[in-house]
Amino acid sequence: MFRKILGASLLAVSALSTSLAVQAQTIKMAVTDLVGMEELQREFGPFKKELERATGTTIDFLPVTNRTAGLEALRFKKVDFVLAGPAEYVVMHKRANAGVVVGLYRPNYYSQVVVKADSPYFTIKDLQGKRVGLGSVGSTSRHLGPIQLFADAGLDPLKDTKITHTNIRVAWEALKKGDLDAVGMGRSDLEGFLAKEPENQQNAFRIIARGGDLPNDLLMAGEHVPAVTVDKFRKAFADNSDALIASVLQGADHVKRYKGMRFLTQVANKDYDVVRSMYKTAGYPEYASFIGD
């Protein structure tokens, strides 16, 4: 009888210790497309604070210099959670076996190809041999999405067009000056640019192609993160959705892309096959490394 009582007591103590360990743990979080602690705090500080409240967990930001650094930090357990886009997901899932905590659905998140309204270009094929501006190499909506539009139209984007990668704002100005014939960009990019143009110039551009909605951004967890922790965070997103969304939108400029967002707790790996096809089009069929890093 004494042994049974002792055994039960030890089990209870063990369970309590495990529970307290989960409650007391500190989670390290990175965001792949932001560099520096100051920028992390400015854009996602309110979200971090609200997520700490919702989960009862301390969260520390870990700045990473690029996507590859984020991947390596995840592989070597330097970081637990990473907020990443679709292009980062397919590589991190393959290289680090990273799992999904929650998806960040962005309405009307798609790529498009924009030209000047008075240009002679009306289809993607009209851009054969022309000068096309794209955003940073490896960006889902500013690079991979647009080149897939060219491929879907029957052109080889790597051979049949003259592609220039640059800051998307620089590409927009080059389009306006006539230095570029077209620019591939995300929907929110064009909306932001047009909003800053004089009213009589907001109709000076047109879209000649747009893709389907892109897969969601994701909060990913390293393979080393206990399932109980992932479940706790996933439940927190489900139970505190409105407050967490509001906290995301309290950030500065970067988070404006999430206007109208919602959290998705059911995300399938196959949802990202379209991004894997984009990597193939870009000449990286193994999608085992980030383009441009």
Q: For 67-116, what is each residue's pLDDT tens digit? A: 999 999 999 999 999 999 999 999 999 999 999 999 999 999 999 999 99
Alpha-carbon gap, residue 24 to 45, rounded angstroms = 20
Q: DSSP string spanning 49-72?
A: HHHHHHHT-EEEE---SSHHHHHH
pLDDT of residue 257: 87
> Which pLDDT value is given to residue 224?
96
Question: Based on the number of CB atoms within 10 Å of its own CB, is 161 exposed (0-12), middle (13-18) or buried (19 or more)?
Answer: buried
Which domains can be identified in the chain, with CATH numbers?
A: 19-107+215-281 (3.40.190.10), 111-210 (3.40.190.10)
Regions of the chain where pLDDT drops below 50: 2-23
Beta sheet of 111-116, edge-to-edge order: 162-165, 131-134, 182-186, 111-116, 205-210
Residue 293 confidence (pLDDT): 72
CA distance 229 to 26: 11
Residue 24: exposure state from Cβ atoms within 10 A (0-12, 13-18, ≥19)? exposed
CA gap 84, 67 in Å, rounded: 9
Place of tokens 């909306």: 191
**What does the block give as tokens for 22?**
């989960």
Is the dihedral angle over the CA atoms 23, 48, 80, 188 positive or is it negative? positive
Alpha carbons 273 and 72: distance in angstroms, whole number: 23
Count Cβ atoms within 10 A of the Cβ of residue 19 and give its class: 0-12 exposed, 13-18 middle, 19 or more buried. Answer: exposed
- The HSE-up count of residue 284 (CA atoms within 13 Å, CB side) is 19
pLDDT at 25: 77
Whole-number pLDDT of residue 5 = 43
pLDDT at position 35: 81
**186-208 b/e with 16+ CB inside 10 Å = b?**
bbbbbebbbeeeeeeeeeebeeb
